[in-house]
Amino acid sequence: QVQLQESGPGLVKPSQTLSLTCTVSGGSISSGGYYWSWIRQHPGKGLEWIGYIYYSGSTYYNPSLKSRVTISVDTSKNQFSLKLSSVTAADTAVYYCARVKYSSSVPDYWGQGTLVTVSS
């Protein structure tokens, strides 16, 4: 059973960089067949796709966030990471990491999510 777990600071100051890591267990990021994705949900609101990475390092970013987002992968640690720069209060959200099936593009396994608050 694949499990994903987000980790990182729960509080980030405005203008700083939000950094989160997703640790994958029960399966290898390098096995192929899946993208590894970040999705966020603003408090009480809907879901927003941030982007994803393949184990080879190829990425896709949501154009609305592309100038501020970097997703990277560390296959040796079976982890992938999110960096979001120049954050504002509008970036306050629950951030989820998820495994996305390559064949269907659907996230089939999700982490539990981590709340990141942007505040001074």
State the burial class of residue 57 (Cβ atoms within 10 Å of its Cβ: 0-12, 13-18, 19+).
exposed
Is residue 21 close enough to count as binding another protein by CB under 8 A? no
Is residue 59 close enough to count as binding another protein by CB under 8 A? no
> Which DSSP category does 90 fall into?
G
For another protein, give the closer residue by CB, 21 or 110.
Answer: 110
Question: What residues numbered 81-110 form the site for another protein, per CB under 8 A?
Answer: 96, 98, 104-108, 110
Is residue 1 close enough to count as binding another protein by CB under 8 A? no
Residues 6+ apart with CB under 8 A from 110: 4, 39, 96, 97, 98, 99
Residue with tokens 């099936």: 101
Shortest Cβ 25–another protein spacing (Å): 16
Is residue 80 close enough to count as binding another protein by CB under 8 A? no
Question: What residues numbered 22-51 form the site for another protein, per CB under 8 A?
Answer: 46-49
Contact 100, 52 (CB under 8 A): yes
**Which of 1, 31, 43, 63 touches another protein by CB under 8 A?**
63
